[in-house]
Amino acid sequence: MNLKNRVALVTGAGKGLGKGIAIELATQGADIVINDLQYGEDVETVEHQIRALGRQSWFVAADITQEDAVKEMFSFVRNEIGKLDILVNNAGVDRPADIFSTSLEDWNFVIQTNLTGGFLCAKYALELMRNQQQGKIVNVSSVVGHQGALKGHVHYASSKSGLFGLTKTLARTAAAFGVNVNAVAPGVIETELSLKTHGEAGMETLRKGIPLGLGNVKDVGMAVAFLCSDAARYITGVTLDVNGGLYFR
């Protein structure tokens, strides 16, 4: 999975899955554009880890729900770096509540970040990749996009399911100019967000119900790195499940 001389932009890369994906891509040789809402200690840590691997890193603050901010981010990539080989649409949020307590504001917030943000980033990334006649896009979805969420995540599950349709449609569009578009659907991964959502007791209960136990961010990072590599040259429009046997389809 040699990604040497590739430039990858990872949204929401300050922590959690995004951090793990960014570091894994750098481990495989890529230089990384780190996106998050703002610069802070989390982003600084990611930068240091990437540079310790001998790779370059840049940070771009952008709210991916805002088209002007997304457009400006990709203008930076074009003008300051000169190319973009990989986009990982990872940024995501959740506001757990049952459907009767989920406000329209909460619904829009989750959908705009998880799905609309992915659309906007893909739109402007594809403009660069079309000119280059090559590139890779990976959308980070979730197992709940396939099976639905048990409770309290109607907007999250809907947004993650929407990413499957976005992935398939973009794959058909982008194939004409040499771009592969795929998705990964993680199961229960040990991150700050999952621990906050489920609690330690909840995570232990989930672990017992998964044949391979809980996953970690490197498991997801390796799957993304594969889809971004030449080894996946003939793969597009698919979703790679990374769930330890939690869900089969």
Positions marked catalytic: 156
Cβ count within 10 A of residue 128: 22
State in Å, rounded, how far the first CA of the chain is from the last one. Answer: 26
Amino acid 84 reads: L
- The label of the residue with tokens 């600084």 reads 44
Q: What one-character-per-residue DSSP string does 44-58 give?
A: HHHHHHHHHTT--EE
The closest alpha carbon to 17, from 214, 190, 202, belongs to 190
Which residues, 6+ apart, have CB-to-CB distance to 166 below 8 Å?
115, 118, 119, 122, 139
Which residues, 6+ apart, have CB-to-CB distance to 140 below 8 Å?
17, 21, 88, 89, 90, 92, 163, 183, 184, 186, 220, 224
Structure tokens at 28: 């495989």
- Report how far residue 11's alpha carbon sits from residue 23's, in angstroms, rounded to the nearest whole number: 13
* Residue 130 CA to its chain's centroid (Å): 21
- Report how far residue 20's alpha carbon sits from residue 233's, in angstroms, rounded to the nearest whole number: 23
